[in-house]
Structure 1
Amino acid sequence: MTGTHISVNSIGTAYDQRDMRVMGKLQELRRNFRFISILGFACTLMSTWEIVLASTAFALENGGSAGLIWTFVIVVVGYSFVFGSLAEMASMAPTSGGQYHWVSEFAPRRFQRLMSYMTGWLCVWGWLSGIAGVCFFTAQLIEALIILNHPTFVPQPYHATLLIIAVAAFSIFFNTFLAKKLPLVEAILLLIHIAGFFAILIPLWTLAPRANAKDVFTTFNNGGGWNSEGTSALVGILTAVISLTGSDSAAHMSEETKDAGVVLPRSIMWSIVVNGSLGFIMLVTFCFTLGDLDSILQTPTYSPLVQVFFNTTNSYAGSNVMTAIIIITLIASAISTIATCSRQLWAFARDKGLPFSSILAHVYHGWDIPLNAIFMSFIVTAILSLINLGSTVAIQAVASLSASMLLTSYMVSISTLLLRRYTGPNLPTRRWSLGRWGAVVNIVALCFLSVFWIFSFFPPTAVVTTTTMNWNSLMFAIIVVVALVYYLLKARHEYVGPVMLVKRDS
């Protein structure tokens, strides 16, 4: 099934056309992503080695170098099972809806509609807050670079707000005027992602003094005042979780991917291999070149990363170039995040799950992208950036809000898949399968996710004040309540659960 404005070359393979017929959807977007471009999309969106470096302050305070390294290993192992579970579902139903569609298909009939609807809201807000989060990390690095070069500069809240909006606006340009070239752009960004890795790694290896291996791997820090170093390290696990969250991004681009039923799961699994490996190598290198932890955490730039670069090179020019590389790759992440978020918005609106669904679901002929959803992603990001004017702590919580919401969507979708395995009917046919290990992989994934989810709500210190509170829990609760109220008042009369359109028997 295809819209009349989509050319024959853009509708994908026979498998793609069959999948769209089975899911009861029209082909409205161009399928111009292939394996390398969609792999680049997923890798640059997560930007694992960049984000884990940009957010090290939190984990160094809670865990130290040893905590940072070992929690990253735990997260990579755990996410391998999560990625595998999501990859199999993406092969069963390669749709831009992602998790909320999978829940609609696999949940018990009695709960399908409400569970699917709530999962859709979680995904939408998870990705909306994800845009704000990555733009905020970028803004922080830009401010740190300014402070390094101009020590008298005192950043004001509105500076970060304007920088967040500027990064988002720049990313919108790539998602609109360069939309037809986005696959090529993503392939190029993958090369920048990998080349930038070596551009940072080599100076650290060759110029920075090295710490003792025993100290790096065994020295923990309990700067948050928790009851044990182990608890402190688990609180700091959020840094690793954020750097690897977003494996479902490729799935939300499925209706723009050729041969999606097999290309998507392969790209999802390769993304954990590529980003997990790069992230681990960079993280260990960074911890070996960290220097004195207390002085790094008290840096006037407010960024341990920028301070380590300066200590390593003893050069403003060298520090500027190294930091600029990470800023560029984080902007690339923002480009991919906006693309993912807009497709999630568009797909959910297509099933009438949001206010103004008819507007958000509209695709303009000639553009063949969800323009209205793209611009809505920008508008919400700009609004969220205003939070920084009142509370820097609150805008920081937006990043953990993205993680907790997406983690919840993973848990719900994998749980319904596991239930379907045991209660039937048989799972849909798929071209990429976990085989007989499927149930085990799903169970292990849920065990890891439950730990990640719990600690995503923890504050950075044991003594909680208005400045150390993790406002993620409050924002999470507000969004869930608003979603439930909207469902009861309006959406239950309009929302079309995707399973109602699925025609697998035919």
Structure 2
Amino acid sequence: MADEKHLKPIETLDDDERLGQIGHVQELRRDFSIWSLGSLCLCLMATWEALSTVIATALLTGGAPCLFWNFLLSIMCTIAIALSLGEIASIYPTAGGQYHWVAALSPPSTRSVASWFSGWINVGGQIVFTASAAFAAALQTQGLIILNDDSYIPERWQALLLYWAILLYAAAMNIWGSRALPTANLMSGVLHIIGFLVIFITLGAMGEKNTARFVFVEVTNSSSWSNGGISWLVGLLSAVYPLIGYDAACHLAEEMPHAARNVPLAMVGSVVANGIIGLGYCIMLLFCTGSLEEILSTPTGFPFMQIFLDVTQSHAAATIFSLVLTLIAIAACVAGIASTSRTVWAFARDKATPFSRFFSYVNPSSQIPGRSVIIVTVLQMLLGFIYLGNSTAFNAVLSMAVLGLYASYLIPIIYFMVYGRPKLAAHEYGPFRLPNGLGLPLNLLACAWLVLAIVFSIFPTFIPVTSQNMNYSVVVMVGWVVIGAVYYFTWGHKQFEAPVVADRD
């Protein structure tokens, strides 16, 4: 009977059967619907909100056209990435995500090392990405106070306390509010869309407009890079950052029904929806930027707050609009801890972490990996001490998010092209499969964009390079990988049980 089940097409298997084939048993509640999971991804990406925060950098590196055209290109290539990852997630719907896919696709000779490092890189990228959402919310809270009280002088320790408070709230939601999490995600998704519509309409109706030439054609270069093309490509980071994090869906695959179908739909759907919303908002925001000098010198520290104030001429309206972005950043932190904790839990389940038995524990009554939630939160809270000592070092750690996540997207796509696509039989694909003749070109496009973005994300934004404006992301990334290598080759490889999918041939 087992052999017959292994020969059945994946799409005919129920979730528990497929999870058993992958090598695990069901331990978590399947509470998420396609809508609640899609909303989680929408808010974790927070695309139009993130565009608000990166607009100043984009305007300095290439002007408005840099952000618009790079973002348009980023949307198209990110859809290719999401489609590529979605096809793999449909075959292997597991909370381990990228590292589990690499293990399933790798030849036995490289399975352990390739899978382990994929997971290590992904965990690091997720931790700092979620921390960046909490930190953004903390600094935006200080900005909101300044917006309404010119006498307020922000202190680092105050930002740290706000950062910790947001992380503790997110952890509490994931542990004690876990049953309400799907509903909370839906509500956040509604706020994400309604907030966009209200702000978009207000900017369109009330804002003084720049010319179309300024938005689409007029290139400027204030980064001091002598080569305008390099300056433009350095601006890629402004277009890439608002479109990461959609892999959260795959890490919650064991908490939703029909995961082989719904996880890819949530990933691709969130990218398409956020791409469309983000592109419209990008155009409107660029038309309404006003004076670059004024928005860069805003005492709030956030140019979008100054833009909202200039357009509405109302501190109350600017505060409400800005608060939408802050609330979504908090929702993104909640979603990020949910996703990251499941990755850590799955990694521990395969004995890939220190104290793996402890961190792979699932509370039998709540069916939540609470210990993984706690360790993720504690690690993120500890990062705050770096900010207290040196904000440049802290920003360097957070800048690893793009490198870590993009590398974790790149590795499984390469393995799928080399070991998966040429060898998998038709019945071994999931219900979400790219059409013949389209899959490989999309995989190649995805890899090309990932490599391009990774390379230029490590370039300094401005020159001459100083200790303050240096891009330390590659240093942090290398450090994280070295730490992982030391652990893996001294002890981890002896414990790690690389996932092996049941032979279905």
TM-score (norm 2): 0.95
Which residue in the other structure is 1:456 paired with?
Answer: 457
Distance in 2 (CA, whole Å) between partners of 1:59 and 1:485 is: 38
- Structure 2 counterpart SS, 1:435: coil
Report the CA distance between 1:64 and its aligned residue: 2.0
Among all aligned residue pairs of Structure 1 and Structure 2, give the percentage whose two residues are the same amino acid: 32
Distance in 1 (CA, whole Å) between partners of 2:134 and 2:220 is: 28
Which residue in the other structure is 1:432 paired with?
Answer: 432
Which residue in the other structure is 1:7 paired with?
Answer: none
**Residues 103/421 of structure 1: CA separation in 2 closer, same or farther (3 Å cut):** closer
Report the CA distance between 1:393 and its aligned residue: 2.1
Check whether the contact 1:52–1:279 (CA below 8 A) recurs between aligned residues: yes
Report the CA distance between 1:212 and its aligned residue: 0.8
Distance in 2 (CA, whole Å) between partners of 1:462 and 1:451 is: 20
Report the CA distance between 1:425 and its aligned residue: 5.4
Q: CA-to-partner distance for each residue in 1:8-67, whole Å, 9 max, x for gaps? A: xxxxx9520221111110100001111111111111111111111123222222222111
Which residue in the other structure is 2:470 paired with?
Answer: 469
- Structure 2 counterpart SS, 1:386: helix
Listed as ranges, the matches of 1:337-376 within 5 Å are: 337-376=336-375
Check whether the contact 2:105–2:420 (CA below 8 A) recurs between aligned residues: no
**Residues 108/504 of structure 1: CA separation in 2 closer, same or farther (3 Å cut):** closer
Report the CA distance between 1:85 and its aligned residue: 0.5
Q: CA-to-partner distance for each residue in 1:210-259, whole Å, 9 max, x for gaps? A: 11111111123322211233322221221221111112110000000100
Distance in 2 (CA, whole Å) between partners of 1:63 and 1:398 is: 25
**2:431 counterpart letter in structure 1:** R
421-430 vs 226-235, greater mean Cα deviation: 421-430
Which residue in the other structure is 1:118 paired with?
Answer: 117
Check whether the contact 1:43–1:190 (CA below 8 A) recurs between aligned residues: yes
**Residues 422/321 of structure 1: CA separation in 2 closer, same or farther (3 Å cut):** closer
Which residue in the other structure is 2:206 paired with?
Answer: 207
**1:480 counterpart letter in structure 2:** V
**2:50 counterpart letter in structure 1:** I
Report the CA distance between 1:293 and its aligned residue: 1.4
Listed as ranges, the matches of 1:243-322 within 5 Å are: 243-322=242-321
Check whether the contact 1:265–1:432 (CA below 8 A) recurs between aligned residues: yes
Distance in 1 (CA, whole Å) between partners of 2:59 and 2:393 is: 20
Which residue in the other structure is 2:5 paired with?
Answer: none
187-196 vs 292-301, greater mean Cα deviation: 292-301
Distance in 2 (CA, whole Å) between partners of 1:425 and 1:275 is: 32
**Given the alignment of the two structures, is residue 484 of structure 1 paired with residue 478 of structure 2, yes or no?**
no
Which residue in the other structure is 2:56 paired with?
Answer: 57
365-374 vs 142-151, greater mean Cα deviation: 142-151
Report the CA distance between 1:180 and its aligned residue: 1.1
26-35 vs 415-424, greater mean Cα deviation: 415-424
**2:443 counterpart letter in structure 1:** N
Report the CA distance between 1:475 and its aligned residue: 0.9
Distance in 1 (CA, whole Å) between partners of 2:445 and 2:397 is: 28
**2:485 counterpart letter in structure 1:** L
What stretches of structure 1 move > 6 A for 4+ residues in a row?
none
- Structure 1 counterpart SS, 2:252: helix
Check whether the contact 2:39–2:188 (CA below 8 A) recurs between aligned residues: yes
Check whether the contact 2:133–2:329 (CA below 8 A) recurs between aligned residues: yes
Report the CA distance between 1:421 and its aligned residue: 4.2
Check whether the contact 2:241–2:402 (CA below 8 A) recurs between aligned residues: yes
- Structure 1 counterpart SS, 2:208: coil
Distance in 2 (CA, whole Å) between partners of 1:142 and 1:398 is: 21
Distance in 2 (CA, whole Å) between partners of 1:504 and 1:244 is: 36
Which residue in the other structure is 1:147 paired with?
Answer: 146
Report the CA distance between 1:394 and its aligned residue: 2.3
Distance in 2 (CA, whole Å) between partners of 1:492 and 1:216 is: 52
Check whether the contact 1:130–1:398 (CA below 8 A) recurs between aligned residues: no
Distance in 1 (CA, whole Å) between partners of 2:134 and 2:381 is: 10
**1:360 counterpart letter in structure 2:** F
